[in-house]
């Protein structure tokens, strides 16, 4: 018999390294003689869309034709340290550094322009602007810097500012549990996230959906098996991850609460999106069959054993 259940979970997640650990990002913006602008920034894109986000921040700040802006990111000989693509920090931290560099360069543009111009300027105007700035001794290259303001927490008093800002999330998961086999099927997931102003909606939606898929694997399938210090399941034939058939329809929503300290109000969204999924699934299992699971993954055999114990079919 299949039993349907619904589970909810909410989370908050601190952006960046946190707890007073130095968390710095740097970027450089340069106007070139050929009429293009290059933003040099060390941003590792591991599927998070970081390169696109930096390009969007630069475009918005510089008010330049987007086709004239390039992001150079993959060579440490010309980019400065901006930290890792980890801790959901790149949009907030490194985005702030890009914003700082481009804001300074835009200010220099205004000094070099023969007229006030807050609109997008084209390639020919940029070439002329380069000459004017050089003649006036106005820098055509600017440096951006940002450091996250956190402090180490006092373990005795609990005082401190270990993270800033925080991303918030909530998920509702609907499942079906087959009480004869212990199989859990995910029917639907509704994911709501507050990551500040969303700079790239398509990328953020993909992040949210990918996070749910990872959370499903974490809750129901993925488990490293170790025997005498050696991993037994070393490949995807016996280390099971979700496939497209395991991932249900996912509705994603964003609460765009503007973060004053973020670039255009943005916060991090990388890791928080997967955290609510597993607890929501466990809560849904309890709602469906009245069994509270305290370890993951909840494989069929584990859940079936728990169901039999609940029915009193196993005796010590």
Candidates 36, 42, 259, 271; catalytic one: 271
- Per-residue pLDDT reduced to its tens digit, 47-82: 888 999 999 999 999 998 889 999 999 888 999 999
Question: pLDDT band at residue 137, thresholds of 50, 70 and 90?
Answer: very high
| Class at the top of the CATH hierarchy for domain 2-14+164-310 | alpha beta
- Residue intervals of the chain classified under CATH 3.30.365.10 are 2-14+164-310, 24-147
Question: 84 near 44, Cβ under 8 Å?
Answer: yes
Separation of alpha carbons 274 and 145, rounded Å: 30
| Class at the top of the CATH hierarchy for domain 24-147 | alpha beta
Q: 271 an active-site residue? A: yes
Question: pLDDT band at residue 143, thresholds of 50, 70 and 90?
Answer: very high
- Whether the per-residue pLDDT at 316 is higher than 50: the answer is no
Q: In 69-227, where do the E strands start and end? A: 69-72, 141-147, 166-178, 184-194, 226-227
CB neighbours of residue 155 within 10 Å: 8
123-137, 174-188, 287-301: which has the minimum mean pLDDT? 123-137
Average pLDDT, the chain: 93
- Whether the per-residue pLDDT at 91 is higher than 80: the answer is yes
- Whether the per-residue pLDDT at 119 is higher than 90: the answer is no
Separation of alpha carbons 227 and 236, rounded Å: 18
């Amino acid at each position: 018999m299949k039993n349907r259940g619904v589970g909810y979970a909410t989370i908050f997640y601190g952006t960046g390294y946190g707890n007073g650990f130095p968390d710095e990002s740097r970027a450089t913006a340069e106007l070139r003689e050929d009429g293009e602008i290059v933003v040099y920034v060390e941003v590792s894109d591991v599927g998070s869309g970081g390169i696109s986000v930096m390009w969007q921040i630069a475009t918005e700040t510089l008010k330049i034709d987007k086709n004239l802006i390039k992001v150079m990111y993959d060579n440490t000989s010309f980019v400065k340290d901006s930290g890792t693509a980890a801790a959901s920090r790149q949009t907030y931290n490194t985005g702030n550094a890009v914003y700082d560099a481009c804001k300074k360069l835009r200010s220099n543009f205004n000094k070099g322009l023969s007229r006030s111009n807050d609109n997008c300027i084209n390639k020919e105007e940029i070439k002329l602007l380069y000459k004017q700035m050089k003649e006036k001794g106005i820098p055509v290259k600017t440096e951006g810097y940002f450091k996250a303001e956190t402090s180490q927490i006092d373990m005795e008093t609990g005082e401190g500012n270990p993270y800033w800002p925080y991303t918030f999330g909530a998920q509702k998961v609907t499942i079906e549990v087959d009480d004869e086999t212990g199989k859990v099927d995910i029917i639907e997931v509704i994911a709501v996230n507050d990551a500040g102003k969303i700079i790239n909606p398509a990328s953020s939606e993909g992040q949210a959906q990918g996070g749910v898929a990872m959370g499903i694997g974490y809750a129901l399938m993925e488990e490293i098996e170790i025997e005498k210090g050696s991993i037994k399941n070393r490949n995807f034939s016996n280390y099971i991850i979700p496939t497209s058939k395991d991932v249900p329809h996912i509705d994603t929503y964003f609460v765009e609460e503007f973060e004053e300290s973020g670039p255009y109000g943005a916060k991090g969204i990388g890791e928080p999106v997967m955290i609510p999924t597993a607890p929501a699934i466990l809560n849904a299992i309890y709602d469906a069959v009245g069994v509270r699971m305290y370890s993951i993954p909840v494989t069929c055999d584990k859940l079936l054993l728990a169901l039999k114990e609940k029915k009193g079919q196993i005796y010590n």
